Chains A and B, each alone.
Chain A
């Protein structure tokens, strides 16, 4: 084992560790990738910014989508695939959507073998719940704390395997060898501030989301887009970064909890959205694409919960982009709730006992944080920055990025969800592609010749850059720059976008970049959140630029990208991914590149109104 210290000539030492596979990020995707690599017998490390088991996956509530057919035997991978592609407005990497739909059930059953305890059907199978955009009840779940179940199961599996976990370690940069292969990652221990490098034959990025660039977000402090930024800096292609999901239902009051997620399970279990006039306004916003399969009366929508075959789904369960935009429109039209959201009402529709059993953590969350009893009164909710569909361009089967030795899975990877992700598809995504990334990284590591080396000068430059804020006198606080970045992104690159604002955002981001280069921090290096934030700013700014650049370039509205000045989808933009990369001078470039071509047998699934389902007579779409 090549663990040890890199000797330096009078330049101190850099703690280094060598592995076959290093996985960066220990949410569901990273854990699943590490479990796979370790199962293959490779020397595997898992590196994470927080303690193990605290990653943002714990926040996932509703469930993991998998066409197991336990509740509706009519379900199949083809229907799941079709739902996913349509939810993503056909911008998805079709091969990823196919693999995801085909493999998700096995990944769920595998969790059960590892100890997960999902809720059950009457005949003892894994129970599945309804969610937006899914034709059938498809989400395996544990009440409304499915993410916790998933991360705990994977964490306990990883611990049982003896995977080496490097906790509270922030990775700053990836370094490549002379042949352009990623060979090392440089970062620091948050508890001590000591620097550390990992060398490995293959790296898997599983760093999750980017939400911390926005003011109102469901994401934790960790979601600073480190993986997105590090991949771009290492030369990787990024795709469709403009596609950001604003979850329709975040808390809006009190202000301190604004943005915290309210699970879509509330609507899946019968909750409805109302405006200040008490109207179920979603019936006014049914888009043509989903009209054939959406109820047009409250009575039909209500019947659907018990009979999916002869009724169509209520419009509250349209894909998230549709619901978020509709809420936004209602608030803009002056029909919002007192604190600038709309009402989400399950109290008048289900018994208190049912609500507490099905949605225990929502009950708890509103009771404790907002003083609202959701079994007796409606919640106030509004859109919150939740997820990025865009990300590192990967090869579907292997999760390989365009840089040799670098793999990506989970939210940091792009393509799977197109321009809009369906609820429940993220937990299954990270299982399916976490495993595939672990497999492919293992293959790559086994085939790679020579020992990965680290370039000392490059590593020292990374260290020096990270330490620079300590040496500045009178610089600005990183917290101020972060706050202004969040205000900028919220105001100018939010849920509804327009050219003038996006151009303004680009200018503001340049200024923020200059300010970030001048931030100063006080105190020592050991567990210093001010310094930690200063080292997160470069990633957040890079990701913000990617999103703003893509948003300006995509002159249409599609999924999680809505342009006020181009309110309709444009078929020409529907044929391309917007690929962003750095050119030789380190400038951002954006290039439209054609989508992968879907094979005819899969394309045929979209020609029928609802493939793979039994049609009820006289009702198109069923």
Chain B
């Protein structure tokens, strides 16, 4: 077989450029295989994330010839080989190195989600749920957290300033999953409206198009959530329904109280800190036993109040 040329972005937060690697083509390979062969050969320090190599963990997201994809599920034989195959990191997240980006935004948003508040179980201590009722949530729980939907979402891809107040498609399906969860009693609609930016989405369906799990993010999660948020806020019949069902509508602030992120800084603050470029000791500095210990990250650790 002929050779393939991979044009891979190399660099860090201070900048970088594409580098070409020409490798022999091998039958049946996916993009990640070729990246691995580049690591084992010409560029041992080429950074990329991966774990399962079977489309189940969502680690190896990248932009391949401009398309957001999982590297492990993109077969080489479906890509044109007469020109270099361009592999770039996800654009929406800050670069750590090469193909690795700082996705801590997603973990910060996950922490702001008020968790499941299950209703009381059956007398035997367990729950009964019908298959048809769990299937709706199961669609969203297929999510492998590759964050490709977040990556292509225009609200944050081109508008860094929207990030603090926009949960993004990945989190919207999580909200919808809980909204449709047969056991949940929590109300997060005001939170979604006021602080999670559900209204900012303008339904371009880019997220749905790139989802490797084929979750119908827009149709089955975002649109229904938008409708619920609207009726919850403005619909008198919904107001009456709540009265009858004795479901108290919770304000954004009340709902947020359930989420750890609103009460204490924890884990992902540290992840954010990791992404800060650190002065790296010269390669030879620690080469011999007894040599100086490496420098620590230049940002002091945050004191985690939650564990006190």
Interface residues of A (CB under 8 A from B): 1, 3-5, 8, 10-15, 17, 19, 43-44, 50-56, 58-59, 109, 112-115, 117-120, 123-127, 142-143, 145, 148-149, 152, 156-157, 159-168, 189, 191-196, 220-222, 253-257, 260-261, 361, 364-365, 368-370, 459-461, 463-468, 470-472, 477-480, 483, 521-531
Contacts and interface: CB of A to CB of B under 8 A. Distances in A.
Nearest to A254: B28
A222 B57 CA distance: 13
Given A51-B49, A460-B293, 18 more contacts: A59-B57, A123-B128, A124-B127, A124-B128, A159-B115, A162-B264, A165-B268, A194-B278, A365-B54, A368-B73, A369-B30, A369-B73, A370-B28, A466-B286, A468-B287, A470-B287, A471-B287, A523-B283
B57 A58 contact: yes
A360 to B, nearest CB: 8
A260 B278 contact: no
A467 B291 contact: yes
A483 B40 contact: yes
A10 B56 CA distance: 46
Interface stretch (B135-143, B195-203, B235-243, B247-255): B135-143
A3 to B, nearest CB: 5
A47 to B, nearest CB: 11
Given A120-B130, A256-B29, A256-B33, A59 B293 contact: no
Task: Please provide the 4 A-B residue pairs with the shortest distance between their CB atoms, ordered closest to farther.
Answer: A471-B287, A254-B28, A467-B286, A523-B45
B58 A54 contact: yes
Interface residues of B, number: 96
B275 interface: yes
Interface in B229-267: 259-260, 263-264, 266-267
B304 A1 contact: yes
A466 B44 CA distance: 17
Interface of B: 12, 26-30, 33, 39-41, 44-59, 73, 75, 96-98, 100, 102-103, 107, 110-111, 115-116, 118, 121, 125-131, 134, 137-138, 141-142, 144-145, 178, 181, 183, 259-260, 263-264, 266-268, 270-271, 274-278, 280-281, 283-297, 300-301, 303-304, 306-308
Given A159-B260, A164-B266, A530-B45, A12 B280 contact: no
B12 A526 contact: yes
A58 B56 contact: yes
Contacts of A464: 286, 288-291
Contacts of A261: 54
**Centre residue among B44, B115, B127, B129 by max chain A CB count within 10 A:** B44
27 contacts: A1-B304, A4-B301, A8-B293, A12-B295, A19-B307, A51-B59, A54-B59, A56-B52, A58-B57, A58-B144, A113-B121, A115-B183, A148-B144, A159-B110, A165-B267, A165-B271, A193-B280, A254-B28, A256-B26, A369-B30, A459-B293, A460-B293, A467-B294, A470-B285, A477-B40, A526-B277, A528-B45
A120 B278 CA distance: 50
**Centre residue among B48, B97, B260, B293 by max chain A CB count within 10 A:** B293
A123 B281 CA distance: 63
Contact of B142 (A54, A114, A145): A145
A3 B52 contact: no
Nearest to B118: A113
Contacts of A167: 267, 271, 274
Given A464-B286, A471-B288, A530 B144 contact: no
B262 to A, nearest CB: 11
Given A221-B50, A470-B283, A528-B45, A119 B57 contact: no
B267 A164 contact: yes
Given A471-B286, A527-B100, A125 B128 contact: yes
A115 B280 contact: no
A193 B278 contact: yes
Nearest to A157: B115
A467 B301 contact: no
Given A3-B301, A162-B266, A164-B307, A56 B96 contact: no
Contacts of B39: 479, 529-530
B57 A54 contact: yes
A162 B269 CA distance: 12
Contact of B137 (A117, A127, A161, A465): A117
Contacts of B292: 10-12
A481 B113 CA distance: 45
A220 B53 contact: yes
Contact of A1 (B26, B48, B75, B307): B307
B44 A164 contact: no
A117 B293 contact: no
A526 B278 contact: yes
Given A54-B57, A58-B56, A471-B286, A1 B116 contact: no
A120 B134 CA distance: 8
Contacts of A528: 44-45, 47, 97
A54 B51 contact: yes
A44 B266 CA distance: 11
Nearest to A117: B134
Nearest to B96: A191
Contacts of A53: 145
A13 B281 CA distance: 12
Nearest to B289: A464
A192 B144 contact: no
Given A1-B308, A523-B45, A14 B96 contact: no
A155 to B, nearest CB: 9
Contacts of B280: 192-193, 524-526
Contacts of B259: 160
Contacts of B271: 165, 167-168
Contact of A59 (B44, B54, B130): B54
B59 A524 contact: no
A159 B174 CA distance: 14
A119 B131 contact: yes
Nearest to B306: A162
A1 to B, nearest CB: 6
Nearest to A456: B293
B294 A256 contact: no
Nearest to A166: B270
A368 to B, nearest CB: 5
